[in-house]
Chains A and B, each alone.
Chain A
Amino acid sequence: MTRLTIEQYLPHHPFFAGLDEDDLAFVARCATLVHFHPGEYLFREGEPADAFYVLRTGRVALETRLGTGSQVLDTADADDVVGWSWLVPPYRWTFDARAVAETSAVAFDGACLRERCENDPGLGYLLLRRVVDVMATRLHSARVRLLDLYGGQS
């Protein structure tokens, strides 16, 4: 997996399934391979959200800062998509994302993709649907965990 180029990797990832060759080629041009060591941040709360990430290996913690330290809200692993604030005004990260293991990812230039999506509603709609999928999964997870199911079971 880690030896695949971006062009080889993207068509096999569900997030990009259904994109035609031209769109895939464009998306690949907006992408770079990145690596984070444990403790390094992919992004910090409040900073401009100008990217999103598809993790290839490793683990990332999505966390928020409290007075007493940081609280991890979710983790993301290989093949997970991290970050949707690049698509939602005011384009600022709402949480921190920190690598908790050696993490390789594909980073996508959000500004580059936003501009293309504005001019190509077909691609924009496809990508928006995929991002909504990611958001819906995270929202579902958060809602079910609010039920504290394991705490109340006898």
Chain B
Amino acid sequence: MLPRRFRVASTRHDNHDTLTVHLEPCDGAPLAFAAGQFTMLQVFGVGEVPISISGDPRGSGPLQHTIRDVGSVSHALAFAAPGEVLGVRGPFGTGWDVADGKGGDVVLVAGGIGLAPLRPALLEICAERDDYQRVSLLYGARTPSDVLFGDDLRTWAERHRITVEVIVDRGEAGWTGRIGLVTQLIGKVAFGADRRLALVCGPEVMMRQSAVALVARGVDPSRIRLSMERNMKCGIGLCGHCQLRELFLCLDGPVLAFDRLEPLMARAEL
């Protein structure tokens, strides 16, 4: 339960309200994690919030968290100065287990900042790209200015044969890309019949509707994985803040298969 101390190495502005903070361990020991896991990040004296890890699980580089500046703690995290020491607990929860998709097609569906928790899975795929068949990333954002990881999107498409499709809710001057809903792309993506794996991350409504669209395309619900978000506090399944009926999402999740989540997601206020 005690946080480890990490020092802010640098911060990258991803868009107008989202930043990626690079952290180095004060004790020199890197934090091992699986793609899809999260940590509890703490600004001492301000507070602690759960943030998914957005860096490469195979890399030896800094620990990366992509943070949207929406509250007092996330603001303090996002604008922590280089050299400032933060607290890190974790990593917690289940991961994407993307290697389970080797030998087949993988579809990743991201909405908004939901691309950040999927980034480690994409980096993992890129590192062993030949082990996978067709890989597609369908990414919905609010506007073109909100699109995250633009350099990554180009690299994934150009160097790693990943089909990257971006769609926005509202266009801006000069935008000639798609405008609409990310679920519209699911009907068009190419994937085969065997060993298909779908990873979905974004607002819950978007995930639920994406999962339904994937099932309609013939993907087995047990092969559709969603990253659920609730009010994680302790991170170890004790406090109950993140409870979703019988599940503690900090422990049993955040990544869960749709066949397990479907009956829970269909209920309001659960």
Q: Which residues of A contact B (CB under 8 A)?
A: 59, 61, 71-75, 77, 79, 100-101, 137, 140-141, 144-145, 147-154
Q: Closest B residue to A78 by CB, please name it.
A: B188
Residue B111 at the A interface, CB < 8 A? Answer: yes
Residues 136-147 of chain B: 1 if any A CB is under 8 Å from the residue's CB, otherwise 0?
A: 000011100010
Nearest Cβ distance between residue A112 and chain B, in whole angstroms?
A: 29
B181 touches A72 (CB 8 A): no
Binds A, one of B32-40, B203-211, B258-266: B203-211
List residues of B (171-211) whose CB comes within 8 Å of A's CBs.
171, 175-181, 183-184, 188, 202-203, 205-206, 209
Contact A150 B112, CB 8 Å, known A72-B171, A137-B184: yes
> Known contacts A73-B179, A144-B205, A148-B142; can you find 9 more A-B pairs with CB under 8 A?
A72-B171, A75-B177, A77-B188, A137-B184, A141-B180, A145-B169, A148-B169, A153-B111, A153-B114
B112 touches A72 (CB 8 A): no
Query: Across the interface, which residues of B come within 8 angstroms of A73, CB to CB?
Result: 179
B112 touches A141 (CB 8 A): no
Residue B68 at the A interface, CB < 8 A? Answer: yes
B111 touches A150 (CB 8 A): yes
Given A101, A141, A152, which contacts B176 in the complex, CB threshold below 8 Å?
Answer: A101
Query: Across the interface, which residues of A come within 8 angstroms of B114, CB to CB?
Result: 153
Contact A153 B180, CB 8 Å, known A147-B205, A148-B142, A148-B169: no
Query: Across the interface, which residues of A come within 8 angstroms of B74, CB to CB?
Result: 154
Q: Closest B residue to A14 by CB, please name it.
A: B187
Pick from A77, A140, A152 the residue with the most CB of B within 10 Å.
A77
B112 touches A74 (CB 8 A): no
Q: Closest B residue to A62 by CB, please name it.
A: B179
Complex-state Cα separation, A79 to B142, whole angstroms: 24
Complex-state Cα separation, A137 to B114, whole angstroms: 23
Query: Across the interface, which residues of B come within 8 angstroms of A61, CB to CB?
Result: 171, 179
Complex-state Cα separation, A147 to B203, whole angstroms: 11
Nearest Cβ distance between residue A78 and chain B, in whole angstroms?
A: 8
Given B176, B188, B206, which contacts A59 in the complex, CB threshold below 8 Å?
Answer: B176
B142 touches A154 (CB 8 A): no
Complex-state Cα separation, A100 to B171, whole angstroms: 13
